[in-house]
Amino acid sequence: MKKKSSPTCPECGSTNCSESPWRSDEERTAHAGEQAYRCLACVHRFYVPRRRWRPQDHPVVAAVGGGTFVLLVVVVLLTGWWRSGDRPGAPEMNRKAQPDTAIDAPPASQPPAPDN
Ligand SMILES: [Zn+2]
């Protein structure tokens, strides 16, 4: 299991590269947000954007985090809808009773039942 994935050398295409220390503060400032790499195959030195945390690198975390985020949005929206609705202070249990009352109500198109 590799923890760090090496960048690809722009010179020879090798991925056998290692982070290279900055030669000076000037260089680091000039390449802010980047990281210097040294290709171990052709000794070419190059800069790549510093790796940021990307969701695709952590699929499990992204899935859990994303799911939680979506759930949070849904909850917030539902809460907002619930509070702004016309049933102030209605307990959540009432939500389950709603379909029952709908079923109890006879359909408008129901034909009259025979008398005998
Ligand atoms: Zn190279």
Tell me the domain boundaries of the chain: 17-49, 55-104
| Chain-centroid distance, C-alpha 23 | 37
What is the pTM for the complete model shown? 0.43
Ligand 1 centre and the CA of 26: distance in Å?
24
Terminal alpha carbon distance of the chain: 80
> 56: which 2 tokens?
């695709």
Please list the pLDDT of the chain residue by residue as tens digits (116 residues): 545 678 999 999 999 999 999 999 999 999 999 999 999 999 999 999 986 666 667 778 888 888 899 999 999 999 888 777 666 555 655 555 555 555 666 666 766 677 76
**Residue 33: which region, alpha, beta or left (left: phi > 0; alpha: psi -120 to 50)?**
left
Cα of 18 from ligand 1 centre, angstroms: 11
- What separation in Å is there between the alpha carbon of 19 and the centre of ligand 1? 13
Cα distance between residue 43 and residue 45, in whole Å: 6
CA of residue 47 to ligand 1 center, whole Å: 12
Q: How many A from CA of 53 to the centre of ligand 1? A: 26
Ligand 1 center–CA 12 separation, angstroms? 4
User: In angstroms, what is the span from residue 39 Cα to ligand 1's centroid?
Assistant: 5
